[in-house]
Structure 1
Amino acid sequence: MAIADIIQSPKHANDIASDVNSPLAKKRKLEETFKDSSSSKSLTCLIGTAAPKFSAPALLPDGSFSNISLESFRGQYVVLVFYSGDFNSKCSSTLNGFSDRHAEFAAENSALLFCSTDSEFVHFNWAQMDRTNGGIKGVAVPILADRSRMVSRSFGMLDDSGHSFEGMFLIDREGVVRCALINSTPLTGSVEEVLRLVRETKATDETNKC
């Protein structure tokens, strides 16, 4: 069963959470850690609600820096991909995998955004490295620099060490969270599944059927 299915099917949650080593169990532990923080959201409680608003500095595909806000994508679907950190070969595979298919996401009126707690300058240095050396040179997707950790925390994606969990949120054209996925490992092999979720969500919205 995919993690995305777990989030969309609450009846399975208790069984899966009984495994203390499962991603969901770890997620629940994290939610307890931040339960007294007004800026922290429960992953499952975000589904069907307005996505937390954010504005953060980012590295753009052309190598420049700019602030990016969620509000600027209103009218588009947004695939917000969290990853644990730069200069990590597994994370580079995830970012490169999504980046290589950014045109397919764009064709579905969806924008890709990456996010980690590294600074935009660290992002820039990583983007200068060739892929053969574990870099993300040529990345075609903006990378948020969540130095304050407010974006990660507001989406319930901040781990105990202050880094982002590996995960994804699909936000619709009205700014509502429609799907969430969280992994204990990078989303390297999940690009096709995320693209499928975008297409299905878009089709549902266009036909007004559940």
Structure 2
Amino acid sequence: MVKIGSKAPEFTANTTKGPIALSQFRGKWVLFFAHPADFTPVCTTEFIQFAKRHKEFKDLDCEVIGLSVDSIYSHIEWLRHMEESAKVKFDFPVVADPDKVVANLYDLINPELGLTVRGVFFIDPEGILRFAMYYPIPFGRNIDEILRSLKALQTVDKYGVACPVDWQPGQDVIVPPPQTIDEADKRAKAGAERWYLTRKKI
């Protein structure tokens, strides 16, 4: 089972942009996401939005990689159809995984249906899995939330802080809690919300 904080499982696979290896993206953030099947309605709505908003991920130094257990020919035909009908361009690779090798590495297979679930992973520039979320097959993802999660991860790393509930970029962040009673007393006297809860602007 993949675990947050562990090294992301390495893979080499055929994609709609040719063969890739996960390791070739080292030094950048990676959004790796799976969809259940090509030519399905919910997946189509998701992919069109990922295409439309791909630049937002690129602007955050994040590469995007999709995956399902369909064949490369199925991927190509489906992407071409969406490009024509929705007037979008797919500039990110989509892994063809008919043997379910990569899907099994990331615990993406629904055993009852034999399809990939809607998995979402962020892998950091060091190749560490930092975020994992699984959506059920019947409903689509929220791309705003996925982008917010990437921005939160990058903020945490850059400033050594934490992000509170419903955090949005530009809002206050949380300072790591004190590790001694003296520091806790100092925070409390300085007017902290709680001795263990201190917010600041960045």
Separation in 1, partners of 2:144, 2:152: 12
Report the structure number with the largest CA radius of gyration: 2
Q: Which residue of 2 aligns with 1:13?
A: none
1:72-151 paired onto structure 2 within 5 Å: 72-130=24-82, 138-151=89-102
Q: Which residue of 2 aligns with 1:48?
A: 5
CA contact (8 A) 2:52 2:88 kept: no
Q: 1:158 offset after TM fit, Å?
A: 0.9
* Percent of residue pairs identical: 27
Q: 1:127 offset after TM fit, Å?
A: 1.7
Mapped pair 1:169 → 2:121: yes
CA contact (8 A) 2:135 2:141 kept: no
Separation in 1, partners of 2:145, 2:39: 25
Separation in 1, partners of 2:87, 2:36: 15
Q: 1:139 offset after TM fit, Å?
A: 2.2
> Residue 200 of structure 1: SS of its match in structure 2?
helix
Q: Stretches of 4+ moved more than 3 A in 1? A: 130-133, 185-189
Q: 1:185 offset after TM fit, Å?
A: 3.2
Separation in 1, partners of 2:104, 2:82: 31
Gaps of 5+ in 1: 1-40, 61-65
CA spacing shift, 1:186–1:73, aligned 2, 3 Å = farther
Separation in 2, partners of 1:54, 1:136: 31
Amino acid aligned to 1:48: G
Separation in 2, partners of 1:136, 1:52: 34
RMSD: 2.0
The structure where helix makes up a greater share of residues is 1
Q: 1:70 offset after TM fit, Å?
A: 0.7
Gaps of 5+ in 2: 163-202
Aligned residues: 161
Q: 1:162 offset after TM fit, Å?
A: 2.4
Q: Give me the TM-score of the superposition, normalised by structure 2.
A: 0.74
Q: 1:128 offset after TM fit, Å?
A: 2.1
Separation in 2, partners of 1:132, 1:53: 33
Amino acid aligned to 1:157: L
CA spacing shift, 1:114–1:139, aligned 2, 3 Å = same
CA spacing shift, 1:175–1:136, aligned 2, 3 Å = farther
Mapped pair 1:59 → 2:16: yes
Q: Which residue of 1 aligns with 2:109?
A: 158
CA contact (8 A) 2:51 2:88 kept: no
> Residue 59 of structure 1: SS of its match in structure 2?
coil
Q: Give me the TM-score of the superposition, normalised by structure 1.
A: 0.71
